[in-house]
Amino acid sequence: MKKILLVITTCLISPLLLAKSVQVKSPDGNIVVTVNDDKTPNYRIDFNNEGAIEASRLGLRFQKAAELGLGFAITDTQRNTVDSNWQLPWGERKNVRDHYNELLVTFSLDRQSANTFNVRFKVFNDGIGFRYEVPSQPGLDGNIAITNELTEFNVGQPEQTTAWWIPSRGWNRYEYIYQTTKLIDVDHVHTPFTFKLANGHHLSIHEAALVDYAGMTLQKQRGGSLKADLTPWYDGILVRKTAGFTTPWRTVQVSKDAVGLLNSDLILNLNEPSKIEDTSWIEPSKYVGIWWGMHVGENTWGSGDKHGATTSETKRYMDFAAKYGFKGVLVEGWNIGWDGQWYDNGDVFNFTKAYDDFNIKAITEYGLAKGVRLVGHHETSGNVTNYRNQMEDAFKLYQQHGVRQVKTGYVADGGKIKRIDENGIARMEWHDGQFMSNEYLYNIKLAAKYQISINTHEPIKDTGLRRTYPNWIAREGARGQEYNAWGSPPNPPSHTAILPFTRMLSGPMDFTPGTFDMAFKGLGADTDRPQTTLAKQLALYVVIYSPIQMASDLPRNYEANLPAFQFILDVPTDWQESKAIAGEVGKYVAFARQERDGDDWYLGALTNEDARTLTLSLDFLDKTKRYQAQIYRDGEKANWVDNPYEMIIEQKEVSAADSLTLPLATSGGAAIRFKALN
Ligand code: NOJ
Ligand code: CA
């Protein structure tokens, strides 16, 4: 009898205990995501019939509620397919296709109880996104504190996998030189985290739509397992939510080669449509500024003999901008608070009061009469409460003076953003924790009210929010050109050959290219100075995408080389279409981009410390047109060490049927304008 009972019970229970598995494929069928509940909810990704991400855990832990993870099983699924198009008001391309298969998986505890959570997967041809959607339920029905996100990304052969990364949770935020190591040697890293598997497939892990949540970093565990590590609040809690919440999308871009990573709209597609209806005041454009002079020590931000931000100097820059067609002049150091160690005294910044030698009214009237706007600046030194208290008045002042763009700055060591809490107590936060994620977005939303676009320096990483808030026009978030003024070491030749495959996958960067004087400290390999050729500086305007681009050097250095400056004057900052056409991470890269609402194409190509010759097909050009290619390339003896300036400027008539052979010098480059002739 006992035996029979046992058999009957086993028959009844065992189908329930069997792990369940569901699949969703990309529209082209190449990417397959398998979701499983064997012991704990998990997913895996296969690409072209080979493992890309091995079975990896899903789940969340809380301060005062039971884990959503262990013991949960699949109880429901829903499917959907979307194929639609939408437009970017500005961007790398105008028309974006949003094409994916969707699977919503519901996990419940013991398949009976009310405890449940959903994971929504969207699988595109170029990668996947998934996020947690946690409904209100017993135990998770009031204020919720997340103490651990269990998401993993397991990589099969970590010894044979090459990774490009910068460390996370460090004092220098995102401003590190990229490391190239085996995945097994990775420790704690920021995203986008890019790696190449033994079979040559390239993957990049990042996130999309980071709103009211902590930024996700990756902590390597045993073997090739990378685990989500959310940047905490000052008190160790990772994320504070109220009941019924969703997380940002966790993303994995997948491509058969390096270039494929660059031609992806995955991150933007996973963001919400624009919340700003009239975007006519958001202006992609080029600017110059009172800036490089401070970084190379010719001027100071603070008052005194070398004060850069004076009325007369700004008028001189306005004249220069008007003469060459730049739309904006950035001025740093005009407002009270820069004297002494400005990066240590952020609570004395006054965002509306100018130094005596700067007359904002006179300057902006002078500029506007010539069609040039002041580009505003708010350096906070990480004292965000001081900024918050003045933010609205500061935007009002700028709007009153015709300012449409403001560069912000949050210079403070990682973990040392200072805020004053509701009880008047000073708290220290990270740039990429939930508090700052909200603070940056508050700044963007308030700026929109005054029709101001924001270029955030020392930002939180980009996660595609420019789709929802197109006035978040650019940000820094990596080592930019400034490191070539004072960095020791400066940016190495490989830096801009790695950025496109890592930092740039997240969105536009205000890199501030265009150094023409490479010898302000002398030439040579051992001097801390820009480690590029002049042609490579030009190539950066096409390679490092931003809707606002600075010509960052001093006006006198441009006027000393007008033939090369012509490329900066011609190159647009807004594109109809963009195509990465060649590249290997850390070695070289080439982009072709078509002017927005125009016929001309532009090409930028650059290399690391190795000279190389690229032969590039011009099949991206319109087949019905002929073009004059205006080519700026390294001269025969050019090299970054002691001959960075030698450049050949030549013209050729070409069509889509041609290819171009471009010899690139060591840390060299090429920049081309294809001017349509018919
Ligand atoms: C850091 C920014 O990245 C840089 O461009 C700026 O000049 C300084 N902060 C001062 O605000
Ligand atoms: Ca910076």
Would you say the CB of residue 173 lies under 6 angstroms from ligand 1?
no
Nearest ligand 1 atom, CA 476: 3
pLDDT digits (tens, 9 = 90+) for 614-656: 999 999 999 999 999 999 999 999 999 999 999 999 999 999 9
Cβ neighbour number for residue 506 with a 10 Å cutoff: 25
Choose which residue among 411, 458, 548 to substitute to test ligand 1 binding: the one with the highest number of ligand atoms within 8 A of its C-beta.
Answer: 411
Choose which residue among 482, 484, 509, 550 to substitute to test ligand 1 binding: the one with the highest number of ligand atoms within 8 A of its C-beta.
Answer: 482
pLDDT band of 112, cuts 50, 70, 90: low
Q: Per-residue pLDDT for 17 more than 60? A: no
When pLDDT is averaged across residues 167-194 and rounded to a whole number, the result is 98
How would DSSP label each residue in 538-582? Answer: HHHHHHS--SEEE--S-HHHHHTTHHHHHHHHH--S-EEEEEEEE
Distances (CA, A) of 1 to 4, 10, 14, 279: 5, 14, 20, 77
Q: Per-residue pLDDT for 7 more than 50? A: no
Would you say the CB of residue 131 lies under 6 angstroms from ligand 1?
no
Distances (CA, A) of 638 to 66, 607, 668: 64, 13, 8
CA–centroid distance, 89 to ligand 2, in Å, is 27
Q: Are 150 and 107 contacting, i.e. CB atoms less than 8 angstroms apart?
A: no
Ligand sitting nearest the alpha carbon of 483: 2
pLDDT digits (tens, 9 = 90+) for 262-318: 999 999 999 999 999 999 999 999 999 999 999 999 999 999 999 999 999 999 999
Residue nearest to atom 6 of ligand 1 (CA): 409
Q: Specify which residues 188 forms β-bridges with.
A: 219
Q: What is the mean pLDDT of the chain?
A: 96
Which is more confident, 12 or 524?
524
pLDDT for the residue 489: 98
User: Which amino acid would we find at residue 64?
Assistant: K
pLDDT for the residue 180: 98
Rounded Cα distance, 247 and 241, in Å: 10
For residue 534, the SS3 value is helix
Cβ neighbour number for residue 587 with a 10 Å cutoff: 15
Ligand sitting nearest the alpha carbon of 411: 1
In the chain, what percentage of residues exceed pLDDT 70? 97
User: Which amino acid would we find at residue 622?
Assistant: D
Residue nearest to atom 7 of ligand 1 (CA): 291
Q: Are 514 and 553 contacting, i.e. CB atoms less than 8 angstroms apart?
A: yes
Residue 105, both tokens: 């998986």
How would DSSP label each residue in 114-126? Answer: S-EEEEEEEEETT
Residue 62, both tokens: 């809380």
- Assign 3-state DSSP to the chain and report helix, strand, coil percentages, each to 5: 20, 35, 45
In the chain, what percentage of residues exceed pLDDT 90? 96
Would you say the CB of residue 175 lies under 6 angstroms from ligand 1?
no
Q: Specify which residues 616 forms β-bridges with.
A: 660
For residue 396, the SS3 value is helix
pLDDT band of 15, cuts 50, 70, 90: very low
CA–centroid distance, 551 to ligand 2, in Å, is 17
Q: Specify which residues 137 forms β-bridges with.
A: 140
Ligand sitting nearest the alpha carbon of 291: 1
How would DSSP label each residue in 226-248? Answer: EEEEEPPPTTS--EEEESSEEPP
pLDDT band of 345, cuts 50, 70, 90: confident
Q: Are 28 and 125 contacting, i.e. CB atoms less than 8 angstroms apart?
A: yes
pLDDT digits (tens, 9 = 90+) for 120-150: 999 999 999 999 999 999 999 999 999 999 9
When pLDDT is averaged across residues 51-65 and rounded to a whole number, the result is 97
Would you say the CB of residue 596 lies under 6 angstroms from ligand 1?
no
For residue 311, the SS3 value is helix
pLDDT for the residue 114: 76
Rounded Cα distance, 661 and 587, in Å: 17
- Report CA torsion sign: 236, 237, 239, 241: negative
Would you say the CB of residue 337 lies under 6 angstroms from ligand 1?
no
Nearest ligand 1 atom, CA 457: 3
pTM (predicted TM-score): 0.96
When pLDDT is averaged across residues 426-453 and rounded to a whole number, the result is 98
pLDDT band of 111, cuts 50, 70, 90: low
How many residues are recorded in the chain?
678
Cβ neighbour number for residue 19 with a 10 Å cutoff: 11
Nearest ligand 1 atom, CA 301: 10
Rounded Cα distance, 220 and 204, in Å: 15
CA–centroid distance, 58 to ligand 1, in Å, is 39
Residues designated catalytic: 482
Rounded Cα distance, 287 and 443, in Å: 22
Cβ neighbour number for residue 280 with a 10 Å cutoff: 8
CA–centroid distance, 485 to ligand 1, in Å, is 12
Would you say the CB of residue 510 lies under 6 angstroms from ligand 1?
no
CA–centroid distance, 409 to ligand 1, in Å, is 6
Ligand sitting nearest the alpha carbon of 408: 1
CA–centroid distance, 457 to ligand 1, in Å, is 7
Nearest ligand 1 atom, CA 377: 11
| Per-residue 3-state assignment (H helix, E strand, C coil) for 196-221 | ECCCCCEEEEEEECCCCCCCEEEEEC
Between 7-16, 208-217, 273-282, 389-398, the lowest mean confidence (pLDDT) is in: 7-16
CA–centroid distance, 129 to ligand 1, in Å, is 34
pLDDT for the residue 393: 98
Which helix (H) or strand (E) is 676 found in, with range? strand 669-676
pLDDT for the residue 428: 98
pLDDT band of 223, cuts 50, 70, 90: very high
Q: Which domains does the chain have, with CATH numbers?
A: 2-269 (2.70.98.10), 273-477 (3.20.20.70), 481-678 (3.20.20.70)
pLDDT for the residue 445: 98
pLDDT for the residue 14: 41
When pLDDT is averaged across residues 17-46 and rounded to a whole number, the result is 95
